[in-house]
Amino acid sequence: MTQSFSQLQLHPHLAQAVAEMGYESMTPIQAQAIPVVLQGRDVMGAAQTGTGKTAAFSLPLLQRMMAHENASTSPARHPVRALVLLPTRELADQVAQQVKLYAKHTKLRSAVVFGGMDMKPQTAELKAGVEVLIATPGRLLDHIEAKTAVLNQVEYVVLDEADRMLDIGFLPDLQRILSYLPKKRTTLLFSATFSPEIKRLAASYLQDPVTIEVARSNATASTVEQHFFSVQTDDKRAALKQIVRQRGIGQAFVFVNSKLGCARLARSLDREGLKTTALHGDKSQDERLKALDAFKKGEVDLLVCTDVAARGLDIKDVPAVFNFDVPFNAEDYVHRIGRTGRAGASGLAVSFVASSDARLVADIEKLIRNKIEIEPFELEDNRGGERRERLNDGSRLYRDEDRGSRRPERSERAERTSAPRPAPKPVDPFFDRPYEPNPQAPEQPAWESSAKVPSRVSANIKTKRKVAALFKATD
């Protein structure tokens, strides 16, 4: 049964924003969570990204805060009342953009703070007063330390993507932040899965929460066509290109397990003529936002990324996801393929399974409660011009008409128009050199390295203290 937003009786300014977003009815998580949050109950929600969970917590919080809405210029009249914590900068940015849209007709203010960006503009915004603060834990602790974030009037806390925050090692930071907050508050926790650690976190910080589960937490969308191909490591790149070409795939996410592999793969695919960019923690914040933007605008075909970098990103209609590496953590498989086949659209998820990946595949099998059939993959033999694509069962994986409608890849187009074949490009030794991280990037990018420094407040604090001591600066 579809449920309309009108039955919520949202403040007209919020209702107007929702209407402008073009939302016709509530998503299941919204239909279940919004009334509960409006009543002031704590919530433990199992919801994957793409389910509309940002609106599910933002709208009722904004609605409740409308009682405090005012146009005063005094910062004291705009204390932080709602705090939303997220594991990565991109997610924080994404949620902040949505909150701004929902609150745009109100006088409630919101701000986002995350690492990798200059503290000063964030400080100025915080000092002017904001009712909704969206933050990653490390940078928030910097602001708490600098006394620019004062949290003693917080009434609502959202721990979003809580499982990922724990995976990254943010638990000590979270515990510290939560210790600064008033005991009397509403706490909402969202997580893709309810692991024992998440349950423990909820037991410590939530009071009598209402549990809301919109889909089996380990479910993979039925609209996603999943294939596991047996491909040796050295053949993975050729296999990926072959599938992209044969399927006429316009855009895809390509997941790898390491930052190093991510950068190298993106570089070689790009060099081979596929418009590719990489998203990983050694890139500067600015580079990452640009990469995402280029992908969203369709200027880039393949986004090669690590799990942490891509987690929860709201990029719609990605036709395909490649697991270039089988994820170490089975839950990441669910998150990765959740990037495709969203909102009823069909999607393709292809995993390349090397001989050493048997245990990882078995873990995925257990998690998704489905038998995984590992299919042989035959690389086409371009030299003989013969395509060999027969599967074990004799059926053809890719039909000829698929090939007819595909968009030829650029390198192929170039080949067709240029006979005789150009001499192969000399191999640039740059690509054979070991990967070297970007010297501009922070030494320890908070979002990927914080797992290694869980007990420190954040990568920024020590440095800041040293610098502050040297220059006698306060900020």
Which stretches of the chain bind ligand AMP, using CB under 6 A? 23, 26-27, 30, 49-55, 314
Measured from the CB atom, is 53 or 78 closer to ligand AMP? 53
Measured from the CB atom, is 46 or 262 closer to ligand AMP? 46
Measured from the CB atom, is 102 or 229 closer to ligand AMP? 102
Cβ(18)–Cβ(10) below 8 Å: yes
CB of 161 to ligand AMP, least distance (A): 10
Measured from the CB atom, is 88 or 123 closer to ligand AMP? 88
Question: How far from 99 is each of 43, 119, 289, CA to CA, in Å?
Answer: 19, 21, 19
CB of 99 to ligand AMP, least distance (A): 10
Q: Which residues pair with 263 in a beta bridge?
A: none
CB of 94 to ligand AMP, least distance (A): 7
CB of 52 to ligand AMP, least distance (A): 3
CB of 312 to ligand AMP, least distance (A): 7
Sheet bearing 156-159, strands edge to edge? 110-113, 132-135, 82-85, 156-159, 186-191, 43-46, 210-213
Cβ(238)–Cβ(380) below 8 Å: no
Measured from the CB atom, is 225 or 314 closer to ligand AMP? 314
CB of 51 to ligand AMP, least distance (A): 5
CB of 301 to ligand AMP, least distance (A): 22
Measured from the CB atom, is 47 or 111 closer to ligand AMP? 47
CB of 34 to ligand AMP, least distance (A): 10
Query: What single letter denotes the amino acid at residue 405?
Result: S
CB of 276 to ligand AMP, least distance (A): 25
Token representation of residue 41: 């109950």
CB of 55 to ligand AMP, least distance (A): 4
Measured from the CB atom, is 86 or 171 closer to ligand AMP? 86
Measured from the CB atom, is 30 or 351 closer to ligand AMP? 30
